[in-house]
């Protein structure tokens, strides 16, 4: 491309930019193709986000489940029975939600039986804390 052509194109673009700044109708008419392009990009980005979320959903604590209440009502056997309904990711979520193991030593465990043991042990210890001082 020749230097004269490059200078002419640059001057044209400066004039166009100045006109777009001052003339709102022209700016609106010129922006239509760009808005469609941006809308298509947003939709594509939204689809990519949806795909990544469905890939691996995070387990959460079941609604209304409280291991301390179950332990006080049914004891450790009842707590084991309630916990046996859940799989390992949900049990890990329960441990994390109720701060039963701040060291996160449970994170490497995969067997629900071991996770249930940790929950029952920690809930029992926390529930019975201070029993020696009660009359």
3 state SS for the chain: CCHHHHHHHHHHHHHHHHHHHHCHHHHHHHHHHHHHHHHHHHHHHHHHHHHHHHHCCCCCCCCCCCHHHHHHHHHHHHHHHHHCCCCHHHHHHHHHHCCCCCCCHHHHCCCHHHHHHHHHHHHHHHHCCCHHHCC
Q: Tell me if 60 is assigned to some domain.
A: no
pLDDT confidence of residue 79: 95
- Domain span holding position 83: 67-129
| pLDDT for the residue 57 | 72
Going residue by residue through the chain, which has 135 residues, state the pLDDT in tens, using 9 for 90 and above: 688 898 999 999 899 889 888 998 888 888 888 888 888 888 888 776 665 545 567 888 989 999 999 999 999 999 999 999 999 999 999 999 999 999 999 999 999 999 999 999 999 999 888 777 776
The closest of 135, 76, 84, 132 to 112, measured between CA atoms, is: 84
Is the domain of 73 the same as that of 32? Answer: no
pLDDT of residue 72: 93
Residue 61: inside a domain:
no
Quick one: 71 and 123 in the same domain? yes
What per-residue confidence (pLDDT) applies to 43? 84
Nearest of 82, 58, 54, 71 to residue 124 by alpha carbon: 71
Percent of the chain with pLDDT over 90: 49
Report yes or no on 62 lying in a domain: no
How many distinct structural domains can be found in the chain? 2
How much is the pLDDT for 135? 66
| pTM higher than the cut 0.75 | no
């Amino acid at each position: 491309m020749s230097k004269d052509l490059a200078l002419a194109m640059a001057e044209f673009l400066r004039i166009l930019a100045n006109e777009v700044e001052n003339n709102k109708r022209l700016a609106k008419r010129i922006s239509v193709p760009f808005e469609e392009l941006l809308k298509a990009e947003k939709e594509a980005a939204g689809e990519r986000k949806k795909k990544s979320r469905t890939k691996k959903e995070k387990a959460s604590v079941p609604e209304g489940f409280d291991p301390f209440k179950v332990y006080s009502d049914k004891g450790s056997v009842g707590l084991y029975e309630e916990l046996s309904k859940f799989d390992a990711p949900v049990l890990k979520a329960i441990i994390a939600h109720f701060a039963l193991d701040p060291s996160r030593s449970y994170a490497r465990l995969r067997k629900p039986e071991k996770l249930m043991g940790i929950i029952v042990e920690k809930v029992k210890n926390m529930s019975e804390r201070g029993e020696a001082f009660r009359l």
